[in-house]
Amino acid sequence: MVAIIGGAVAGSEAAAACAARGAIPVVFEQGARPYGKIEDGLPRWHQKLRDKEYLKINENLGSDAVIFVPKTEIGAALPWDELYRELGFSAVVLANGAWRDRRLPVEGADAYEGRGLVYQNEFVYWFNHYEDEGYDGPVFEIPDDTIVVGGGLASIDVVKIVNLELYARALRARGIDVDIVEMEIKGIPRTLEAVGLSAEELGVKGCTLYYRRRKEDMPLASADNPTPEQLAKLQNARVKIMDRVIRKYFVKFEELSRPIETIVEGDRLTGIRFQKTEVVDGRVRGVEGSEFDVGASMVISSIGSIPRPIEGIPTKGELYHYDSWDTGEVHGLPGVFGLGNVLTGKGNIRDSRTNAIEIIEKVVAAYLGVGDEAVETPGRGSAEATEVAEQAAAGKAMSVDAMKALSERIERRHEEIGYDSFSTWIDAHA
Ligand SMILES: Cc1cc2nc3c(=O)[nH]c(=O)nc-3n(C[C@H](O)[C@H](O)[C@H](O)COP(=O)(O)OP(=O)(O)OC[C@H]3O[C@@H](n4cnc5c(N)ncnc54)[C@H](O)[C@@H]3O)c2cc1C
């Protein structure tokens, strides 16, 4: 039996691959619903993509060969040591994604979280859920001097959310109700045109995105080891993407600017002091004497997501400590592997899925001794994968008694949370 932590793209894919190899996957999911960043990260206008991914996850987790245990956060409802050392699983797979915001690198800024400083993950969560019946999460009133610090794809979603909300509110104040999802598709200029109003008439200032590098450096399009020609094309694509965001959503953009200090009034953050930068040999350097202050009632930090620490899992810097990025093997914890966003750090559905399949097939199946021989495919990390698989060649078989005890423990948990079957649970938690 294999424990999988997290039931979203990577976790559900790993569960299906385990089941296909004859192992019994037990998926522990902290939420009632297993959709992870698909539900809480992707802004709600990605309806088609979301529905498609929900279907895939449902198909994977709804199989009789998979045991799903929702509402069970590892590290809280079920401590790591109990899961890893007492329950006797043959292997443990970390598919728990990146649920912690990377901290804004400005001394003392975190003291103002909730008092002027907002992090991306809770902001997007609010945007996706505030219309849900019984929503009781954080609530944000977006002021019209909001700024965003970031530069990656997620920060583009954040600036879009801010401006869509600001313009929707201004239109509502004039008695015009607009649907945010429709406005995202049409863009703000066309939406205003359709109701015969101009941006000037509405008087919305809109938000500004501050990025420490240049527009052409934004990680909005990327490739592994691009040739100079490919790089030039990528840079061109990045500029085009950002220019489109600026045009279509009236976003303002300040490149080569990095936050260096808080501006505070009383107990609130009221702005950020920035410094202009230059990029020398790929590195960002501050330009002395170029500091400038920006007042903002809300500063949203959107500079990346990292895995949440779980007591018992070793970390290295802000990530879990892996012995190999190719096998996802966790340092000092035999039989524990990371996969998906928790390992790749790439906020990308396709990468999470591909990586989950790659790791499960190369390593976990071999580790369990239930799959085919580990196949040495050419390319990144295959040698390491095979090595790990060989090291664990004997596998860690579970005794019948251990399996029985584990099944009883899972049954008890299902009773505690009132879980019956995947489909009835999902229907009840729509
Ligand atoms: C704003 C934003 C926009 C994005 N836009 C795109 C896009 O346009 N295209 C794209 O391809 N990708 C996009 N992404 C990224 C994409 O959504 C993710 O990279 C991908 O869904 C990650 O899948 P995953 O399964 O690896 O991780 P996650 O979806 O993060 O799943 C991890 C799961 O683990 C659970 N979990 C976490 N901790 C625990 C614990 N301790 N115990 C039990 N369960 C736990 C979580 O609840 C979750 O269900 C975006 C992300 C964000 C934030």
- Compute the 3-state secondary structure of the chain and give helix, strand, coil in percent, each to the nearest 5: 40, 20, 40
Render the burial of 34-44: b for 16+ CB within 10 Å, e for the rest.
bbbbbbbbbbb
* Tokens, residue 166: 């600001």
Cα 180 to Cα 191: distance, rounded to the nearest angstrom: 10
Query: Is a pLDDT exceeding 90 seen at residue 73?
Result: yes
pLDDT of residue 402: 87
Task: Answer whether 338 contacts ligand 1 (Cβ < 6 A).
Answer: no
Q: Where are the domains of the chain?
A: 2-99+307-428, 101-305
Query: Is a pLDDT exceeding 80 seen at residue 297?
Result: yes
- Ligand 1 centroid–CA 416 distance in Å is 27
Closest CA to 217 of 277, 169, 132, 135: 277
Cα 147 to Cα 296: distance, rounded to the nearest angstrom: 6
Task: Answer whether 61 contacts ligand 1 (Cβ < 6 A).
Answer: no
What CATH number does the domain located at 101-305 have? 3.50.50.60
Which ligand 1 atom is the nearest neighbour of the CA of 98?
Answer: 30
* Tokens, residue 297: 């009632």
Mean pLDDT (the chain) is: 91
Report the percent of the chain where pLDDT is more than 70.
92
Task: Answer whether 8 contacts ligand 1 (Cβ < 6 A).
Answer: yes
Domain 2-99+307-428 belongs to what topology?
A: Rossmann fold (3.40.50)
Task: Answer whether 37 contacts ligand 1 (Cβ < 6 A).
Answer: yes
- Ligand 1 centroid–CA 348 distance in Å is 8
Task: Answer whether 38 contacts ligand 1 (Cβ < 6 A).
Answer: yes
Q: Give the global pTM.
A: 0.90
- Strand 336-338 and strand 319-320: the pairing is unpaired
Task: Answer whether 31 contacts ligand 1 (Cβ < 6 A).
Answer: yes
Q: Who has greater pLDDT, 54 or 377? A: 54
Task: Answer whether 348 contacts ligand 1 (Cβ < 6 A).
Answer: yes
pLDDT band at 360 (very low <50, low <70, confident <90, very high): confident
Which ligand 1 atom is the nearest neighbour of the CA of 9?
Answer: 25
Measured on CA atoms in the order 109, 213, 349, 66, is the torsion positive or negative?
negative
Task: Identify which of 33, 74, 96 to mutate to test ligand 1's pocket (most ligand atoms within 8 A of the CB).
Answer: 96
Average pLDDT score over residue span 392-419: 84
pLDDT of residue 374: 35
Give the single-character DSSP code of 102.
P
Task: Answer whether 17 contacts ligand 1 (Cβ < 6 A).
Answer: no
- Ligand 1 centroid–CA 305 distance in Å is 10
pLDDT band at 365 (very low <50, low <70, confident <90, very high): low
pLDDT band at 364 (very low <50, low <70, confident <90, very high): low
| CB atoms closer than 10 angstroms to residue 97 | 26
Query: Is a pLDDT exceeding 90 seen at residue 182?
Result: yes
- Ligand 1 centroid–CA 75 distance in Å is 18
CB 128 within 8 A of CB 35: no
